[in-house]
Amino acid sequence: MTANLDLDPEQREELARLLAGDTLGALLRGWGDFVTEVERGYDDTIYDYTNELSVRDRLDRVIAGASPGLRAQLERAVAEDDRRFTAATEETARPLGTSPWEQRVPRRLVGELAKDVADLG
């Protein structure tokens, strides 16, 4: 879900610097689209899953580098998709990586991801 941010010129400049060539809309759409796939039943490999989680890690880095006012707006922009992701996933006994997002796997495991997660134990 792409939120409308009410940014002043200084915040727009700050955001452009933080994004370093990415666009906020693309990152937010990427995260939202991935969350939808997880809700439906993500069936690609565990490598694809962790690769797609990197979009949220990228958003975390942008948020962490933002000034307090911009940070609050960015956090609101990702909040609903984060809530949906948390609802569609569960903590895993064997984390897939170090980010908080990699500590979770879909509740609905299907296809290659189901096999990969089972192989992890």
How many domains does the chain divide into? Answer: 1
For CA atoms 64, 79, 42, 121, the dihedral sign is positive
Question: What burial class does residue 91 get, using C-beta atoms within 10 Å of its C-beta: 0-12 exposed, 13-18 middle, 19+ buried?
Answer: exposed
Q: Is 103 within 8 Å of 91 (Cβ atoms)?
A: yes
Categorize the per-residue pLDDT at 66 as very low, low, confident or very high, splitting at 50, 70 and 90.
very high
User: Which of 81, 85, 82 is closest to 42 using CA atoms?
Assistant: 85
Q: Is the pTM of this model over 0.85?
A: yes
Phi, psi of 97 (to 5 degrees): -175, -160
Whether residue 104 is contained in a domain is answered as yes
Domain hosting residue 98, numbered range = 9-120
pLDDT at 121: 76
Q: Answer with the residue of higher pLDDT: 108 or 4.
A: 108
Whether residue 1 is contained in a domain is answered as no
pLDDT at 83: 98
pLDDT digits (tens, 9 = 90+) for 7-50: 999 998 999 888 988 899 999 999 999 999 999 999 999 999 99
Whether residue 96 is contained in a domain is answered as yes
pLDDT at 22: 85
pLDDT digits (tens, 9 = 90+) for 90-113: 999 899 999 999 999 999 999 999
